[in-house]
Structure 1
């Protein structure tokens, strides 16, 4: 499982001119699922998303996690994160899970996140989404489990 996470001041996802998820300060995570990923990978990813210390403390050091700042978590499924771009100019998607497996694992991640934290919003699996955000810092990380 792979995620590109960004510390944001706000973020939202729209599908067909309808907002499906929005957060204020928090973490926006684009989520990619590989064929071999399991619920264990999703559990590890959720732990990273909630516990990674990427918010500044009073001394200005990245020492606080999203829960400590009472921030939101916006989860956006994005199979293109699993693309292979090493050869040629057209990405290959053999590294991405099938839609059935990817959606099931993304749904599991969302359910676990909502169980662990009250401020969770999402995009829509398989949809053409428009994501808007204000990256805070900018602070961006790639997380893999």
Structure 2
């Protein structure tokens, strides 16, 4: 029951973020980042399908990449299990009228294809406005040294 209530709350945040104008709410890129990493941690494919742009691309620290369909399959099929995705040192800004850029660090812990990982990575996340909605378009993960 708690998961259902929390999911409804997160979806409400997404709807609030989507309904705001760029000038009125410069925190939309950071909100999209928080929703993305929370949906990843919760393996919430419903939220992911709503917030990812059709041309979504994620590239991990070793250069492998996945698109919207592949990330959805990995989450729903149990190939990617994220126990923690905690962000820090987050900085966000709007770049033009309909593009957001967010940088920071993310502490990831979980398994990918039954291989455990526990890494702190530097990330760049780009969100774009498509019509009235904001979508996550690109995520780049780089090893933090």
Same fold by TM-score, threshold 0.5 exceeded?
no
Higher helix share: 2
Coarse TM-score class (shorter-chain normalised): under 0.3
* TM-score, normalisation: structure 1: 0.24
| Bigger strand share | 2
